[in-house]
Amino acid sequence: MKPDRIIAFGLVTLGVAYASYSGVNYYQKLQVVEEARPAGQATATHAVQASSTADQAWVVVPPENRPKQGEHFADLIIPRLNAKMPVIEGTHEDELARGVGHYAGSVLPGEPDNAVLSGHRDTVFRRMGELKKGDELQVVTGQGTFVYVITKMWITEPDDRTVIVPHGKPVLTLTTCYPFSYLGPAPKRYIIQSVLKEKISEASEKQRGG
């Protein structure tokens, strides 16, 4: 074989070998990416599923089923305190004397916005200071039992209107006077905010009870 052909053959062989190495190396890197991708997708999918679960717990109460002023339409259950309190429509003194008052300008528990409940610090809400982040709040209504998880607690002024502002998700806000042991009209407000975790079906409630 002539020298120029030998050189040409050698260059071709070297090129093929390099191309093969590059191809294998690229494929191996691609495999690493593909193997890593499902884990990331699984996390994203889990987040979407969790969001979908909360979305499915939402309700919109039709006008004919909305409570009238002074009506006992729900119960607030606080597992940590082993307490069950009647929820009354309205926050005037007459309603607050009977239980927890639902601020009529807010949505109902279970609806996709900010449902606001108020109570006296020396009656129904006297142990609110014992609650912690992560505790559950359950509201039992004619539309189902809605489970909220406490995410935030703070102290504010009585005229702080941000407490009742709308939210883009189902939120339950509890308000009461503060300090809890203050003599006379308390100068501050204690706020507990929670987000909707799930809606418990009747079948699930029977299983929990049984």
Catalytic pick among 46, 72, 167, 177: 177
Q: How far apart are CA 72 and CA 120, in angstroms?
A: 17
| 177 flagged as catalytic | yes
Q: Among 195, 207, 202, 167, which Cα is nearest to 54's?
A: 195
Helix, coil or strand: residue 181 = coil
Torsion of CA 151, 156, 162, 166, to 10 degrees: 30
Catalytic-residue membership of 167 = no
Tokens standing for residue 101: 């008052």
| Helix (H), strand (E), coil (C) string for 34-88 | HHHHHHHHHHHHHHHHHHHHHHHCCCCCCHHHCCCCCCEEEEEEEHHHCEEEEEE
| Pairing state between β 83-89 and 100-102 | parallel
From the list 72, 92, 120, 167, the catalytic residue is 120
Q: How far apart are CA 176 and CA 155, in angstroms?
A: 10
Active-site residues, by number, are 120, 177
